[in-house]
Structures are given as C-alpha cells and as structure tokens.
Amino acid sequence: MAKLPQLRKEIGKVIIGQQEAISEVLISLLAGGHCLLEGVPGLAKTLMVKTMSDALAMRFKRIQFTPDLMPGDIVGTEVLEDDHETGHKVFVFNRGPIFANVVLADEINRTPPKTQAAMLEAMQEYKVTYGGNDYVLPKPFLIIATQNPIEQAGTYPLPEAQLDRFLLYIKLSYPSEREELEVLKSTTGTARPELQTILSDEDIIQLQKLTRQVHISDELIEYINRLVRASRPAETPSPFVKQWGEWGAGPRAGQALVLCAKARAVLNERFSVIPDDIQTLAYPILRHRIALNFRAEAEGITTDQVIKELLSTVK
C-alpha cells in the first residue's frame, strides 16, 4: 500500500495533470474491473495507459478498433503447423493481443458489434473460448477502452447492457492553463523521463485481495443502496430524477460503488471507507448506468447533473 503514492508520482513524470483520471484508472485496477475513457484527441489517453503499465511492469497491448476488425484479430486464431515429432499437420491456437495484462481498446465504438462482443466476453469471463477450448487470460487483467465524443459518424455506440460491464466511465477534461504550458515545455525538447518499476504483477494481485478486506460500515452500505435506488424514476424521492430520468442504475452499480470505494481507500492509504469515497466515485460509476428521457436530451440535461442532484437529495 505504501508504494501507491510512489506509483502516482512515477506516472506524473510523464503525464502532466489528469490526476483524477489517473486515480480512477488505478481504482479500477485495484477493484479488478475495467474502465471506459472518453476524451477528445490529444489528451494523452494512450500515453497514460502505456505509462501506467510500464510503472507496473505489466504486459501492455494496444488494439486500434476499425470497421473491418474481426473477433479473431482480438482473441486469436488457429493456424496449421507441422508437428515435428509426428510429422502430421496440427492446428495451433495463436493468441491475440487480448492476452496481456493491460489492453488498450482504442476507439471501441469504431468497430462492429460482433467484434465488440468478443472483447466484452473476455472482459466478463476472463477467458477466451476458441474451437471448444478455454484459454485463461493473464492476471491481473485490465481493459481500458476509449471513445471519441466529438465524432459519431460511422460509429457503433455500445448498447447500455454492454456499457454496464465497465466498472467506471471516466471523462477526461482539458488541462488547466498552467498544466498545458508545462506540457508544451516538457514534450518538445530532448529530455525523456526514465520510469522505474514500482509494483509487480504479484503485488497488484495482493493489493486486489487487500481491497476486498477494507472495512465499510453498514450505514455506508445502506447509503449506497439508497443512492442507487434513488436513481430509478419509479421509486426516487427526487423530483429532478422523476422529471428527466428514463431508467436508473441496477444492482451492479451498488456493487461497483462498494468495491471502488474500498479501492479508493487503499489508494489513499486508509483501511476504512469514508463518505467522500462514495460521493466522489458516484459520477464515474453512475454516469453510464442512468438513462435520460428524450426531453432531457432536448433540454441538454446531462447524467452528471442528475447524479449531483441525487447526492444532494439522498443524505
């Protein structure tokens, strides 16, 4: 646990700003889930993930999703080879880029649903099935998918049921003026920071086990339960949610809030969850699990506004 602040410092050698996004990606890793990153081009999404995997000594693979990408391009395929012992030809499974510790699924909404489903099956099952055989994915295993919010022509948006499989939906914002100035100075010269390996694969697995042991009081679990249930228009005490909501978050949102709150406590070197953990993580956990009605979309109401209202309503 003591190495986690050092890990964030190491990532900060390369990534300037975006501290909230970095923390949320690390929370997703500690909680054993996957995350969806959304941001305009040029906000260092790929560099952030690559830097994190380097500091963690984790095997990294990047998959650029395109309209012609096939499921076999992700999970792997069988090839015909000669068996030198028997002299016969045999089929051998050639593992795809999904067999890595950290997989960056770049622009996941640019590929057809069939290929998206292959990726999402691996996310859920932590294994790949091919030719009737199961191939277990390495541990730890983290998929970080990215989306470009400004260009929707020729895209295949993820259905709500598939979005729900992402533990966190992280939105990257523009850097501040000071951070952007620092980016210009540090990335246009010859200096290249050298990263140290802070945590091994086994260290991450142990931290994931520790995360589940973090204490959370019954009162806070009840608070999470009330918060999730209040997101559903049919049973919410909030007039705002009744007016703008179509449907709310399911039980998986509550599970995610408990687990991620524990992970945030570990990241901040605490052994107990506090209310701030829940309130901070409500946004990346609920924003892709709440659907707004047509009127809300027409009026420009966002899910983040609904979550803010929920947090002020549910005490």
Q: Report all structural domains of the chain as residue ranges with CATH numbers, in order of start.
A: 2-188 (3.40.50.300), 214-313 (1.10.8.80)
Distance CA 70, CA 301 (A): 36
Lowest mean pLDDT among 41-50, 77-86, 196-205: 77-86
- Of 201, 142, 138, the closest CA to residue 168 belongs to 142
Q: Which contacts qualify for 261-265: CB closer than 8 Å, 24 or more apart?
A: 261/216, 261/220, 261/224, 262/31, 262/211, 262/212, 262/214, 262/216, 263/26, 263/27, 263/28, 263/30, 263/31, 263/211, 264/23, 264/27, 265/214
pLDDT of residue 218: 94
169 pLDDT band (50/70/90 cuts)? Answer: very high
pLDDT of residue 151: 64
Distance CA 15, CA 32 (A): 23
pLDDT of residue 152: 62
Average pLDDT over residues 93-108: 88
Greatest mean pLDDT among 14-28, 72-86, 219-233: 219-233
255 pLDDT band (50/70/90 cuts)? Answer: very high
pLDDT of residue 180: 82
Distance CA 267, CA 207 (A): 10
- Amino acid 43 reads L
Distance CA 298, CA 222 (A): 34
pLDDT of residue 21: 86
pLDDT of residue 291: 87
pLDDT in tens, 30-41: 999 899 988 877
Residue-averaged pLDDT of the chain: 85
Q: Which two tokens stand for residue 126?
A: 């932590």
Q: Percent of the chain, pLDDT > 90?
A: 24
Q: Which residue has the higher pLDDT, 198 or 257?
A: 257
E strands within 9-158? 35-38, 60-64, 76-82, 89-95, 102-106, 127-130, 133-136, 142-147
Q: Which contacts qualify for 93-96: CB closer than 8 Å, 24 or more apart?
A: 93/130, 93/131, 93/133, 93/135, 95/135, 96/72, 96/128
Residue 210: how many CA atoms within 13 Å on its side-chain side? 20
pLDDT of residue 154: 60
Checking if the pLDDT of 229 tops 90, the result is yes
pLDDT of residue 153: 59
Checking if the pLDDT of 235 tops 90, the result is no
Distance CA 215, CA 265 (A): 9
pLDDT in tens, 109-168: 888 888 888 888 888 888 888 777 888 898 889 999 888 777 665 677 777 777 888 999
Distance CA 204, CA 138 (A): 13
1 pLDDT band (50/70/90 cuts)? Answer: low
